[in-house]
């Protein structure tokens, strides 16, 4: 039984892992039950697929039949929501949801703002470097090195890019290629070794990470973490986790207003309000991920 065996893996390692499982299955005359939310993975490595919704099996069929002729509305919705090379965001939006999303509520104003500011950079990263000292670098003599970071581990090495207002940029690479370190520096959770980060016209690398936490710009850069379990405080309920940025960054302390805002955010990410009182260990991986997303978009 493989329960999300490729979560957090890059596509190359993901394929190697699944190929290994498939080879072991064939050579050892075994069977595999793959538990996954990745329809593409299921289509590639499974012979049959069983679709579950709210604890019940709603459809079961051979993989080709299920993808070509899905019968249940939930299966159809899952397949429709799977992105392809030509997919647009509107095509992936669920037809039914518990609440209107921010995009649905403010389509025209947002579109107009994006059009007006489309040529302005919101974020510019210039020659970003992050070097972590190694045991060798600690004892090396700097004056004998041509490169002062030669003995360090370079997690990020001269990275530069720009993101205009209204744009989305994908940072892609194998595990260990520096993606998460780069994002942690941009969100000012880590200090860079060198380089500049220009956010909304201001060089935010002038502030140490510890100081940036208390600045107004902190509310404008939020992060959805790769591992939702590690990113949530085990002593905080889902409500508390979502409420934290509202309390500390937006200074929203009135209980009724806070309750309404947290419930609205939960609706936006399709997190049932009944789960807001639960702690991380009482939530599924997907539910914890939704808490993390709600927390990030709260401000």
Q: How confident is the chain (299 residues) per 10-residue block, as mean pLDDT?
A: 87 91 93 92 94 94 94 92 66 54 52 60 94 71 55 88 90 86 93 94 92 89 89 95 92 90 95 96 93 93
Output the pLDDT for position 109.
52
Distance between CA atoms of residues 79 and 37, nearest Å: 11
Residue among 104, 103, 83 nearest 92 (CA): 83
pTM for the model stands at 0.71
Distance between CA atoms of residues 145 and 7, nearest Å: 40
Query: Tokens for 206?
Result: 């002038």
Output the pLDDT for position 202.
92
Long-range contacts of 186-193 (CB under 8 A, 24+ apart): 186/123, 186/125, 186/221, 187/221, 187/222, 187/223, 188/212, 188/213, 188/218, 188/221, 189/223, 190/130, 192/128, 192/129, 192/130, 192/156, 193/129, 193/130, 193/131, 193/149
The answer to whether 34 and 46 have CB atoms below 8 angstroms apart is yes
**Buried b or exposed e, range 49-82, using 16+ CB within 10 angstroms:** bebeeeeeeebebebeebbeebebebbeebeeee
Q: Would residue 164 be called left, alpha or beta, if left means φ above 0 and alpha means ψ between -120 and 50 degrees?
A: beta
Output the pLDDT for position 107.
45
Structural domain spans, the chain: 2-84, 115-220, 228-297
| 30 DSSP β-pair partners | none
The answer to whether 223 and 297 have CB atoms below 8 angstroms apart is no
Domain with residues 115-220, CATH architecture: 3-Layer(aba) Sandwich (3.40)
Output the pLDDT for position 9.
83
Output the pLDDT for position 227.
86
Distance between CA atoms of residues 126 and 120, nearest Å: 16
Beta strands in 68-170 (DSSP E): 121-132, 153-164
Q: What angle do CA 10, 16, 21 make, to 5 degrees?
A: 125
């Amino acid at each position: 039984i493989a329960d999300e065996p490729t979560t957090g893996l890059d596509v190359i390692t993901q394929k190697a892992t699944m190929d290994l499982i498939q080879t072991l299955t064939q050579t050892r005359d075994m069977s595999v039950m793959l538990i996954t939310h990745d329809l593409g993975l299921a289509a590639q490595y499974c012979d049959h697929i069983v679709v579950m919704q709210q604890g019940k099996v709603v459809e079961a069929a051979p993989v080709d039949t299920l993808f070509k002729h899905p019968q249940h509305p939930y299966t159809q919705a899952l397949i429709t929501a799977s992105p392809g090379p030509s997919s647009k965001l509107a095509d992936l939006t669920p037809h039914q949801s518990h609440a209107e999303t921010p995009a649905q509520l403010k389509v025209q104003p947002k579109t107009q703002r994006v059009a007006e500011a489309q040529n302005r950079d919101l974020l510019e990263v210039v020659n970003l470097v992050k070097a972590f000292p190694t045991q060798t670098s600690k004892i090396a003599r700097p004056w004998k090195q041509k490169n002062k970071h030669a003995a360090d581990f370079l997690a990020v090495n001269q990275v530069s890019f720009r993101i205009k207002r209204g744009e989305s940029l994908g940072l892609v690479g194998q595990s260990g290629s520096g993606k998460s370190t780069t994002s942690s520096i941009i969100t000012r959770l880590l200090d860079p070794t060198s380089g500049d980060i220009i956010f909304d016209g201001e060089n935010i690398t002038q502030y140490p990470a510890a100081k940036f936490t208390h600045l107004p710009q902190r509310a404008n850069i939020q992060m959805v973490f790769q591992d939702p379990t590690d990113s949530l405080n085990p002593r905080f309920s889902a409500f508390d986790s979502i409420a934290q940025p509202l309390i500390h960054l937006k200074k929203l302390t009135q209980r009724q207003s806070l309750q309404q805002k947290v419930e609205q955010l939960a609706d936006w990410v399709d997190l049932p309000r009944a789960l807001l009182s639960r702690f991380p260990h009482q939530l599924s991986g997907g539910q914890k991920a939704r808490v993390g997303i709600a927390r990030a978009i709260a401000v």
